[in-house]
Amino acid sequence: MNVYKTINKRHSYRGKYKSDTVPREDLITIMKAGLNAPSGCNKQTTSLIAVDDKDVLKKLHKVINPPVGETAPAIICVLTQRLPAYREKCFAVQDYSAAIENMLLAIVELGYQSCWYEGHITDEDKIGYQMAQILNVPDNFELVCFLPVGIAETEPTLPKKRTFEERAWFNAFPNNQNESVP
């Protein structure tokens, strides 16, 4: 599969997963794809923890409420460090976002599915913090996201996308375009 086919095939999967284990070699490949993402000022603020142990997964899923990704045989937890980079600006969000997208593409390329769960665990209930405690993450790291990884039980539902012409232009924003497009 070429990169464009993988990009077009990747969609968030929120269904159930088959119980087939994800080989460590595949998890390593996925994690390396994430760690090879660009990083603002090369601060490399993103770190990862793959979880494939059933007991640890059970502990994590006890704190993920409402439950999501609970049937996946593996998850990858994304950690960040909020380090100043250029002119005291921090690029942690950009760093981990690029890493997550690389991993999502690698996941699809290897025949698995996933979904980027961030807002679900970074709300006021501090699920990400609870997950970090289970995984012995030091306080100078923040667990900001997790990606379930596994073979989908059902084919992912493809979302309807607005057309290219509604969202992309050349040389300027078109004058006849409404400022807020539904």
pLDDT in tens, 114-132: 999 998 888 888 999 999 9
Written as one string, the DSSP assignment of 27-55 is HHHHHHHHHTS--GGG---EEEEEE--HH
Q: Cα(39)–Cα(26) distance, rounded to whole angstroms?
A: 23
One-letter amino acid for residue 132 of the chain: A
% of the chain exceeding 70 in pLDDT: 96
Helix count and strand count (H, E) for the chain: 6, 5
Query: What digits encode the pLDDT tens for the residues 83-109?
Result: 777 888 888 889 999 999 999 999 999
Coil, helix or strand at residue 165: helix
pLDDT at 178: 56
Complete domains list, the chain, with CATH: 3-167 (3.40.109.10)
Residues 24-41, buried b or exposed e (16+ Cβ, 10 A)? Answer: eebbeebbebbeebebbe
Cβ count within 10 A of residue 52 = 17
Q: Is the model's pLDDT at 1 over the cut of 70?
A: no
pLDDT at 23: 98
Residues 90-117, buried b or exposed e (16+ Cβ, 10 A)? Answer: bbbebbbbbbbbbbbbbbbbbebbbbbb
171 is written with which tokens? Answer: 């040389």
pLDDT at 142: 94
Residue range 52-59: average pLDDT?
98
Q: Cα(37)–Cα(107) distance, rounded to whole angstroms?
A: 15
pLDDT at 121: 83
CB-based contacts of 26: which residues, under 8 Å, 6+ apart? 110, 112
Please say whether the dihedral angle defined by the alpha carbons of residues 112, 115, 117 and 118, taken in this order, is positive or negative. Answer: positive
Q: Cα(28)–Cα(61) distance, rounded to whole angstroms?
A: 22
Please say whether the dihedral angle defined by the alpha carbons of residues 172, 177, 178 and 180, taken in this order, is positive or negative. Answer: negative
